[in-house]
């Protein structure tokens, strides 16, 4: 239990990769504050699953693109637990479509949640972690942010932006014992990939050297590594969890 005594805030923690991250961090001993924007039932179920692993957990609704709500989330986490050691910026959405027909609203919504939301959460915890002289920030990017993808210009821009922010924040916070890294998942088995057409899924698998989709737990274990003391000298890096797609 290498994270025992630590407190983690995980955005978008109710399902998929976010849920797997919550459970893995809890398994390693961290208390969990998860935020969600969708199903309260799913969020409470995740919190209860974390508590069943012997840690404290709470779920709160939060729109990460709203600075007032983000501050309220972090204030509540501090009031409940007294510290924030780990921030995992996982909240994200897609609004796919070709650039030439993409609506302004579809572009703005993805940038607001995926990029602005990540910034607001990092900004909100940076002072807390600097005062503690300890912190781990892990941002979820994507292989799409590294290589682009047709039909996802908004998503690719947001995830590439997350990488740029990760490196910049890493430089700003390094002297205060705070590391900032990114994890870039490839194609992971989630509700999103389950909805893919068979032909699209086959084409995706052909581009993965390992020949299979990843599991949410694969990403969660990478996040937990970067959150632990074993990664204390790693900052400003992007760890691709993609079965070799980005080689």
Taking the CA atoms of 13, 197, 245 and 108 in sequence, report the sign of the dihedral they define. negative
Strand-pair partners of 59: 34
Q: Give me the torsion for CA of 101, 103, 104, 107, rounded to 10°.
A: -80
- Reported as type and span, the H/E element at residue 31 is strand 31-36
Q: How far apart are CA 184 and CA 218, in angstroms?
A: 11
Distances (CA, A) of 63 to 21, 30, 107, 213, 232: 19, 23, 17, 29, 30
Q: What is the DSSP string of 140-160?
A: E--HHHHH--TTBHHHHHHHH
Instruction: Tell me the two tokens of residue 182.
Output: 């990114």
Distances (CA, A) of 180 to 78, 90, 239: 20, 14, 12
Instruction: Tell me the two tokens of residue 133.
Output: 């002289």
Active site residues: 155
Q: How far apart are CA 88 and CA 100, in angstroms?
A: 33
CB atoms within 10 A of CB 41: 9
Instruction: Tell me the two tokens of residue 155.
Output: 């998503």
């Amino acid at each position: 239990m290498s994270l025992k005594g630590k407190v983690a805030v995980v955005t978008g923690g109710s399902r998929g990769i976010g849920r797997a991250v919550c459970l893995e961090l809890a398994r390693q001993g961290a208390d969990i504050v998860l935020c969600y924007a969708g199903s309260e039932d799913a969020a409470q179920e995740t919190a209860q699953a974390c508590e069943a692993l012997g840690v404290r957990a709470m779920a709160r609704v939060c729109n990460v693109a709203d600075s007032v709500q983000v501050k309220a989330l972090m204030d509540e986490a501090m009031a409940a637990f007294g510290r924030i050691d780990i921030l995992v910026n996982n909240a994200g959405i897609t609004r796919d479509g070709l650039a030439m027909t993409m609506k302004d609203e579809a572009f703005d919504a993805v940038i607001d949640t995926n990029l602005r939301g990540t910034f607001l959460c990092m900004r909100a915890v940076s002072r807390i972690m600097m005062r503690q002289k300890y912190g781990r920030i892990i941002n979820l990017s994507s292989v799409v942010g590294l290589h682009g993808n047709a039909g996802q210009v908004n998503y690719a821009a947001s995830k590439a932006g997350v990488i740029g922010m990760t490196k910049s924040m890493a430089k700003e916070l390094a002297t205060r014992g705070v590391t900032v890294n990114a994890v870039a998942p490839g194609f992971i088995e989630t509700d999103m990939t389950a909805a893919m057409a068979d032909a699209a899924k086959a084409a995706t698998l052909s581009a993965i050297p390992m020949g299979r989709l990843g599991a949410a737990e694969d990403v969660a274990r990478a996040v937990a590594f970067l959150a632990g003391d074993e990664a204390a000298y790693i900052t400003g890096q992007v760890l691709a969890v993609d079965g070799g797609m980005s080689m």
